[in-house]
Each structure stands twice: as C-alpha cells, then as structure tokens.
Chain A
C-alpha cells in the first residue's frame, strides 16, 4: 500500500499523541511517587539522603510502613493465588466435559455457566454478604475467595471449552480407541497442548482478582484482611497530608499486574479480546 510521506508523518503524530494520552495519568503517579516528599512533617530522616539521581525511592519504604501495604499485599497474593489455582483447575475439568463429551443437558448447563460471565457482582454481593454473615464467614479469606472463584469458573469454563472443542478431535478419538481413560486423555494429552490457553486464563484471572474492589470491600472489615486496592482506597481516605505517599502506595498496588503484563502482554491482549463474550 503506497502512502504519501506527509500522511506517514501524520500517522506517527497521531500514534504518539494517543500513546501519550494513555500514559500521562500513569506517569503523573510515577513522577509524584518518585519526587520529593510533599507532606509537611514526615520522613525528615530519609529526605535527600537516600535520593538517587533525584529519585526518592525512600517514598516507597515510607508508604509501605505508613500505609501497612505489606499486610495488604500479602493478603492480595493469598487471595489471588487461591482464586487462580482453584478456578483454573475446576475450569479445566468442566471445560473438558463441555468440550469433548456428549451428555444430556449439556447445552442448558453451558448457558447456565454463560450467565455468570455477564452477571454484575453488584447483584450477588448483597445476599452473599448477609448469608455469609449468618454463617459466620464474613471477615474471613473464604468470603473474599469463594465468590471470585465462582465468577472466574464461569469464564474459565467458557474459555477452556472453546479451546478443547477446537483441539484435535481425532487425537481424542484415537486416544479413546487406544483405551486411554478420560483422566489420562485430559492430563497427559490435552492439558500439555493447552498450555497457552491455560496461561492466558491464569493471567486474566490473576488480574481480575488482584484488581477486584467491591467484593473485598463488602466482605471484610478487619484491617488485616484488606486486599491491596482496598487498602489503597482507605489509605487515600485517611492520609491527606500530601500526595507523595499516596502515589507511592498506588504504584506498589499496581506493580504486580503491570509487571506481569509487560512480560506476558500477548496473553493479556489476546485473552481480553477473544474472551469477549462470543459464542
């Protein structure tokens, strides 16, 4: 395709403008987090002394201590790891059944799972809170993990089913003719081949769980059980002397998912585009 030079230049200008637009709010936070502390009476001890080429990394240490981000991050890692492991495991099993087997009621059951992909948390969080409270389960890790497993399993079933359906049926048939058990077909033939699909599912579920706000907000009042985004929201409410430490906290909270994104961005983008509810 032949494109004139001026059009080409214009394209680069547009490209650059939008890239800047997308990244400036993120850079604002990063710049504030690395800048000199703007809060009046705080951090006198580590001002200046620990700045490295003008970047104040000490802000992160201070935010970590002042904002209790150590506890929040640990909780987020526990919650995310549990949700990822359980929901990916269950989704592989259910996706295998939907994708490779014929059974009565499979279509109806599958639509039932699809329902969960679009269902807003707002609808279920109210009854969940009151029912879990009467079971004495609010203010526990369970109350944060299990509802999110249910949501992720809905998407995961859909995702793994699509993969298993497209994977070679002749391979499965051959394995069956050879007398391999279903379990063997799944774990020794299909799952090794499905690694890219499983990795995509894993990073998506990790991101959704890490960034989830409403469920932990409702289910947990105990400070030691707050997840990282929740901790950040409370930190913003309580800590009002300046922006530096808040920005540092925001960077801490965003870093795990952003770092994973920079390494596995293909999986993130492909997953979010293909995973867009499509039958």
Chain B
C-alpha cells in the first residue's frame, strides 16, 4: 500500500495531477471492457490476413483446384498424396536432412564453442559476437547469391580444392545430384551457428560461478564440468535454439529458390518450395494448400514437443 502511494506520487510528479475522465476507471484488477477496444485494430488485421487465410488454406486443401476454374471436392486426397507421393515424401525427407544441417550441427558446434569461450574470459568477445551474428541480419537472397558464387564451377571452393591438390573432387556443387542438398544445408549451418552460439553464451553467462568451483573441488576436469554443470544449466537455451533452427529448416524457401530451384531433378526440393511450385507454377492449388497446412502442423508439433522437453529439464 505504501509502495503504491509512493508510486502514485511519482506518477503525479511525472504527469501532473490526475484529471481522469472517470470513464472505465474501476479499482485495479477489475475486468475492463475497454481492453477489447485496444485489441480491436490489431485483431482485425491479424484475423483478416492471417487467421482467415489459414482457414481458407484448410478449405482449399480439400479441393482439386487449378486456381481458375471451379474446384472439385476430393476430401483428404491431397493429404493422402502428401503421405504417399514419391516427390512429396522426398521433399519432406530433404527437410529432415536440412534439419541436421540447420539445427543439429549448429547446436553441437555452438555448445562446444560457447563453453570454450565461457571458460576463459577472452578479450574481444563482444566483437566476436557482432561478427558471428552478422549472417542473421543479411537477407537470405544475398546469402544465397554469395554461396552460389562460392559453389560455382569456377568459384572459390573449387579454387581452394585445386590449390591443395584435390582437383579430382572439384565440381559444380549445386548441379551435382549427390552434393546439392548437403551443400545447401551447409549454408544453413553457416547461417545458424552464430545465432546458436550467441544464445548459448548468454545462457552460460548466467550460470552461478560457485557451481564450477564446487565441481572443481570435486576434481572435475573440463569435460566432466561441461556435462555436470554447463549442459544441464543451458537446457532451456538449447530448447529455444533447437526450436528456432528446426523451424528455420522447415521454412527454407528463399535459399532453395535462389540457389537450386529444387534441382537438379528434385534433389533439393523442400516442402515450402513445393508449395510455391505447385500453386504458382503447376496450377495445383489444392495440393499446395495441403502441403502448407501439413507444414504448419509439423512445425507446431515439433516446437511444442521441444518446448515440453526443455521445460521438463529446467523445472
């Protein structure tokens, strides 16, 4: 009560004495109908351009529709196709491969990197943070243009390989049936490592130093210290990192569009690219909507699962 009075004085000093209109000013904690008025503008835009289209996507996904003529109701056929069609199944399979590159590799590398940096207070850490985080703010199209150049037949990767005598390995990486998907995935690793490392560094910075001292008194070396203290303490951050990067892997569109357009063959096609390809290039709108809805469900399930696992670890 006294605190409220003091805050009230502070407020009065800041705004001048209260000249409330009396409209909708009940005791604190009282339900306020005016809240709906504050919500309304945001909700209208949100509902019209996000919720409604989502419902429409569900509706369209039950039709065979080319976007021009009248659609034909086909029930769950489009979803059946998602599960059985060779091309679509491989697109979801490619997304799984991308998850390894976007999520698993950056998390493992980020954990090692962050724990090494966290152990020793090195100078220049904030500069390092600025640099490794930089890829996150560069438009993906620009990133794709850069890596296309690196992977080109006359690009710097092949130049490097030739320089160390590995001429036999050089190739047009993005045009190679076996290598196109991994090298696209590697761009994802490059893109996400900085984010994950900075996220984990922040988490490790919050660990109580006494925990490390206790571990050391018990005779723990760096490795046991990592598994006994560091790893359990950043479970929450790991969950966040995995959620973000897994979603990023599933949503990869710009990168594939600019580097390979799903090719060669369909060796780098991913679900989000299939949505675009089917809806706007093949005129199979119903199928595209079904893929989009499936993608949304997969994203929700995965991020929910990861968050649950992370929560159980921390609480």
| Residues of A close to B178: CB separation below 8 A | none
Q: How far is the CA of A217 from the CA of B140 in the complex (A)?
A: 14
Q: Is the CB of A93 within 8 A of B116?
A: no
- Count of CB-CB pairs between chains A and B under 8 Å: 345
Q: How far is the CA of A120 from the CA of B300 in the complex (A)?
A: 10
Is B190 in contact with A214, judged by CB distance below 8 angstroms? no
CB distance from A164 to the nearest CB of B (A): 11
Given contacts A12-B122, A236-B258, contact A25 B143 (CB under 8 A): yes
CA distance A218 to B275 in the complex (A): 11
Q: Which residues of A contact B132 (CB under 8 A)?
A: 18-19, 22
- Contact A171–B10 (Cβ < 8 Å): yes
* Least distance between B97 CB and chain A CB atoms (Å): 18
Chain B residues with CB below 8 A from A198, complex form: none
Known contacts A173-B4, A214-B276; decide if A269 and B129 are in contact (CB<8 Å): yes
Task: Report the interface size class on chain B.
Answer: 35 or more
Q: How far is the CA of A217 from the CA of B296 in the complex (A)?
A: 20
Decide yes or no whether A162 CB sits under 8 A from chain B.
Answer: no
Complex contacts, B122 vs chain A, CB 8 Å: 8, 11-12, 15
Question: In the docked arrangement, what's the CA distance between A175 and B60, Å?
Answer: 50
Listed stretches A39-47, A49-57, A62-70, A252-260; interface member: A252-260
Known: A119-B54, A213-B140, A247-B149. A170 touches B4 (CB 8 A): yes
Contact for A178 among B8, B39, B41, B49, CB less than 8 A: B8
Separation of A98 and B21 alpha carbons in the complex (Å): 22
Given contacts A15-B122, A178-B17, A276-B243, are A126 and B275 in contact (CB under 8 A)? yes
Given the known A-B contacts A12-B122, A29-B145, A120-B299, are A273 and B14 also in contact in the complex, defined by CB atoms under 8 Å? no
**Could you say which of B46, B139, B156, B299 contacts A154, with CB atoms under 8 Å apart?**
B46
User: Whole-angstrom distance between the alpha carbons of A64 and B31 in the complex?
Assistant: 56
Chain B residues closer than 8 Å to A262, beta-carbon distance? 130
Asked if A243 contacts B28 (CB within 8 A), the reply is no
A98 to B42, CA, bound (A): 12
The answer to the question of A23 belonging to the interface, with a C-beta cut-off of 8 Å to chain B, is yes
Name which of B79-87, B165-173, B227-235, B248-256 contacts chain A: B248-256
Instruction: Check: A118 CB closer than 8 A to any chain B CB.
Output: yes
Give CA–CA (A152, B100) in the complex, Å: 28
Pair A103/B57 contact, Cβ less than 8 Å: no
Decide: B149 and A243 in contact? CB cutoff 8 A: yes
A253–B18 CB distance below 8 A: no
* A77 CB, min distance to chain B CBs, angstroms: 14
* Closest chain B CB from A60 CB (angstroms): 15
Task: List A contacts of B57 (CB < 8 A).
Answer: 123-124, 126-127
B38 in contact with A268 (CB, 8 Å): no
The interface centre, meaning the residue of A86, A157, A214 with most chain B CB atoms within 10 A of its CB, is A214
Q: How far is the CA of A229 from the CA of B143 in the complex (A)?
A: 11
Bound state CA distance, A182 and B26, in angstroms? 11
- CB within 8 Å of B: which of A159-181? 168, 170-181
Interchain CB contact under 8 A, A126 and B60: yes
A152 to chain B, nearest CB (A): 10
Q: Which chain A residues have a beta carbon within 8 Å of chain B's beta carbons? A: 1, 3, 7-8, 11-12, 14-15, 18-19, 21-23, 25-26, 28-29, 32, 86, 90-91, 93-94, 96-98, 101-104, 106, 109, 112-113, 115-116, 118-131, 146-147, 149-151, 153-154, 156-157, 168, 170-182, 184, 188-189, 207, 210-211, 213-214, 217-218, 228-230, 232-233, 236, 243, 246-247, 250, 253-254, 257-258, 261-262, 265, 268-269, 272-273, 276-278
In the complex, 14 of the A-B residue pairs with CB atoms within 8 angstroms, ordered by the A residue number, are: A15-B117, A93-B42, A97-B36, A102-B31, A102-B32, A103-B32, A126-B279, A126-B289, A127-B56, A179-B22, A179-B25, A180-B25, A181-B21, A229-B141
Add 10 more A-B contacts to A19-B131, A97-B38, A182-B38 (CB < 8 A): A126-B285, A131-B53, A146-B49, A173-B28, A180-B19, A233-B257, A247-B145, A272-B136, A273-B202, A276-B240
